[in-house]
Amino acid sequence: MSIANTIQKNVIVALSVLHNQLFTEKNFQINQTKPEFEGDYTIVLFSLVKSLKQSPDAIGNQLGQYLLNTSPELFVGFNIIKGFLNLSISNAFWTTLLQKNYSNIHFGKKENYGKKVMVEYSSPNTNKPLHLGHLRNNFLGWSIAEIYKASGYEVIKSCIVNDRGIHICKSMIAWQKYADGATPQSTGIKGDHLVGDYYVRFENDLKAESQILINKIKLADLSDFNGVVLEKLDKLLITLTKLDEIKDEEKITKLHNEIKEIARNSTQVIAEAKQMLLDWEEDKPEVIELWKKMNGWVYEGFDATYKLIGSDFDKIYYESKTYLLGKYIVQQGLDKSVFFKKEDGSIWIDLTADGLDEKLVQRKDGTSVYITQDIGLALQKYEEYKIDNSIYVIGNEQNYHMKVLQLICKKLDMPNADNIFHLSYGMVELTTGKMKSREGTVVDADDLVDEMIATSQKHTEELGKVKNFTAEELKDLYNTIGLGAMKFYLLRVDPKKTMVFNPEESIDFHGFTGPFVQYTHARIKSILRKESLADYQQPLASSDLLKMEKEVIVMLEQYPDAIKQATIEYNPSVIAMYVFNLAKTFNSFYAEHSIANAETTDKKQLRLQLATMTANILKSGMELLGIRVPERM
RNA sequence: GACUUGGUAGCUCAGCUGGAUAGAGCAUCAGCCUUCUAAGCUGAGGGUCAUUGGUUCGAAUCCAAUCCAGGUCACCA
């Protein structure tokens, strides 16, 4: 139990005894004492004034005295300033804590207690390479998995590969048309990038063809259209003329977008893609073969990237395999009247009673949509692993989709539908604005990682501290630092929030960064290498503590709480901030006091233990972020 | 338009289950390497916590309204 909790319990008992009534942790607040006052922890007394009808000073004096009398081993003094009761904790408590835990590399982590959680993350599309946003996703997913493990969960890391759907057909069609048999081997281009190039090629064709249609529509030439679409266009054009007269810009833009959408959907290339999707779902051999070939290239590319960034999965699901289960469940749901069929054959769910809309779950041509396979997968996960909780690491642009999915799972009476949690993270923007693939402002994951590693190499060489490293050790070090900087940079902010990626800031190795923490660790290790173990394994003779020594131990004590908070909030940034603050506190201590040349042997021993435990926790905490710490740098 | 998330120092972010004089990092300026790794340490300047009103002994934090920005509302995924 943390010291803050211990104090809380003591205060509850004390108040209950002193005032002969029941108190809970909600009746008062406990904080760390601000540095400008004497004491370690502070009880805010104002909230007690009303119910006890006594002055803050009187309540505080009574409480402080009682705590001192009943737990003299823990409390050694108190003072009251303006309604705040500041309690001083005994040095013996801190030194005992240190002595007991300094060599425990599992400090702060809990034993497995039998709960299973699945963390789904990464979930790439197999039509383009990974970019900066995927990196945030991957790092978050990995870190959440590690944090849950540390909290005693059994964790299964999973990934759903979106290897099916009309977007996949797009790159296949462009490849058929333009590639002339080009492969990653023949071109020397990484597989995922090669396929991505053809996806872009398709999008360009689509844009060009739909532009021709739009131009014709603007001239009121509707000869390319017929049926329902023609009727709709007719109506749109009439409304547009009216709007032009009253100059309602907003609505005009909206209508233009609708026309654009119709034009895109009426193009020859889209028709080809749609046909290919149908052929695909009907298992036409030539489509399946092409799909397998191109998917294979993408996986090779992804594998290389995953290996580079240190991401992996215990279970990989493929949409191409789960969509059938999804369709099956949709059929079952139809029989149970959870879903309903419209005249044209499309299948829907009515969520208007829940404040949402009607949602399509299967197209009129019988092919499945995005959510169809998600329904299948949700069930499959539970049946395969009997998991207690399911965490989805998915961008906040899909909040609505996930809300719908959860609702559908509930309506289908799926087990544990309530234990689905969408870890919704914000987009990564650039200093110049949003990333847009169409404008070529997307930051490619492979490029970025390479650049970070190159920067760490340049920086390390300039500092010239690594003369006796082997070539292999150097390579490993550059990787550790470069990736450490990048992961820390992406994980140090609250996942929920949209964040700005500043290239210059991201390669900064000073201050609130991964390399700062790594450096602190390496520096401690350097000292410990020079000291013999025997020097710091004796019991401490004295519990004298300097201010800065105590500050470090107080930080160390809070590690378990940081893990707990990160778990509850699904928030790795809690760990990043904690680890940074610990390193900072230690560095201040380090600059003021010598470890190797401490004043007495007892002091030296205390400081060696302090340094050891700090290094252990820095390593452990960074591991929760998926970041390695070097022994030397 | 509806729903939703956010607005804190020049920049990037903490703090938000109400508590003492609102904190970091970067950037700027001034110091610290004949002693354990200076990727470090110390100090200075920098704030109408979007605005207005409310609740409270006490509001960056809770409530309401307004303004601004992002996201979603597809037979795309």
Using the predicted structure, report yes or no on whether residue A250 has a pLDDT greater than 70. Answer: no
Protein residue with the closest CA to the C1' atom of nucleotide B6:
A497
Asked if the Cβ of residue A364 lies within 7 A of any atom of strand B, the reply is: yes
Confidence of residue A281 (pLDDT cuts 50, 70, 90): confident
Task: Copy the structure tokens of residue A627.
Answer: 């970041």
% of chain A beyond a pLDDT of 70: 98
**pLDDT on residue A42:** 95
Confidence of residue A229 (pLDDT cuts 50, 70, 90): confident
Asked if A488 contacts A514 with a C-beta cutoff of 8 angstroms, the reply is: yes
Question: Helix (H, G, I), strand (E, B), or coil: what is residue A181?
Answer: coil
Asked if the Cβ of residue A318 lies within 7 A of any atom of strand B, the reply is: no
Average pLDDT, chain A: 92
Using the predicted structure, report yes or no on whether residue A246 has a pLDDT greater than 70. Answer: no
- How many angstroms is C1' of B8 away from CA of A369? 43
Distance CA A470, CA A279 (A): 55
Asked if A549 contacts A606 with a C-beta cutoff of 8 angstroms, the reply is: yes
Strand partners, A569: none
Using the predicted structure, report yes or no on whether residue A624 has a pLDDT greater than 90. Answer: yes
Per-residue pLDDT, averaged over A7-31, amounts to: 90
Asked if the Cβ of residue A340 lies within 7 A of any atom of strand B, the reply is: no
Asked if the Cβ of residue A511 lies within 7 A of any atom of strand B, the reply is: yes
pLDDT digits (tens, 9 = 90+) for A85-97: 999 999 999 999 9
Per-residue pLDDT, averaged over A511-540, amounts to: 91
> Is pLDDT larger for residue A392 or for residue A240?
A392
Asked if the Cβ of residue A31 lies within 7 A of any atom of strand B, the reply is: yes
- pTM for the complete prediction? 0.95
**pLDDT on residue A542:** 83
Helical pair A547-557 and A601-624, crossing angle rounded to 10 deg:
30
Distance CA A495, CA A119 (A): 15
**pLDDT on residue A352:** 86
* Residue owning tokens 């502070």: A42
Question: Among A131-145, A200-214, A249-263, where is mean pLDDT lowest?
Answer: A249-263
- How many angstroms is C1' of B1 away from CA of A196? 37
Measuring from the CA of residue A355 to each C1' atom, give the nucleotide at the shortest distance.
B3
- How many angstroms is C1' of B41 away from CA of A582? 15
**pLDDT on residue A17:** 92
| Continuous H helices in A219-359 | 227-246, 249-265, 268-281, 285-309, 319-335
Asked if the Cβ of residue A430 lies within 7 A of any atom of strand B, the reply is: no
**pLDDT on residue A438:** 64
Using the predicted structure, report yes or no on whether residue A59 has a pLDDT greater than 70. Answer: yes
Asked if A167 contacts A131 with a C-beta cutoff of 8 angstroms, the reply is: no
Using the predicted structure, report yes or no on whether residue A535 has a pLDDT greater than 80. Answer: no
Cα dihedral angle (A609, A614, A619, A623), rounded to 10 degrees?
Answer: 130
Task: Copy the structure tokens of residue A27.
Answer: 């009746």
Per-residue pLDDT, averaged over A418-425, amounts to: 93
Per-residue pLDDT, averaged over A464-491, amounts to: 95
For A59, A119, A329, A333, A372, the CA distances from A414, given in Å and listed in that order, are 53, 18, 11, 11, 15
**pLDDT on residue A518:** 98
ipTM > 0.85 for the complex: yes
pLDDT digits (tens, 9 = 90+) for A283-338: 999 999 999 999 999 999 999 999 999 999 999 999 988 888 999 999 999 998 99
Asked if the Cβ of residue A481 lies within 7 A of any atom of strand B, the reply is: yes
Distance CA A144, CA A575 (A): 11
**pLDDT on residue A188:** 96
pLDDT digits (tens, 9 = 90+) for A40-52: 999 999 988 888 8
Asked if the Cβ of residue A357 lies within 7 A of any atom of strand B, the reply is: yes
**pLDDT on residue A346:** 92
Per-residue pLDDT, averaged over A129-144, amounts to: 96
Using the predicted structure, report yes or no on whether residue A249 has a pLDDT greater than 70. Answer: no
Using a 7 Å cut-off to protein CB atoms, list the covered nucleotides of chain B: 4-6, 11-15, 18-21, 24-27, 35-42, 57-58, 70-77
Measuring from the CA of residue A363 to each C1' atom, give the nucleotide at the shortest distance.
B75
Using the predicted structure, report yes or no on whether residue A365 has a pLDDT greater than 80. Answer: yes
**pLDDT on residue A356:** 84
Q: Which of A350-359, A436-445, A537-546, A601-610 has the highest mean pLDDT?
A: A601-610
**pLDDT on residue A540:** 85
Distance CA A395, CA A391 (A): 13
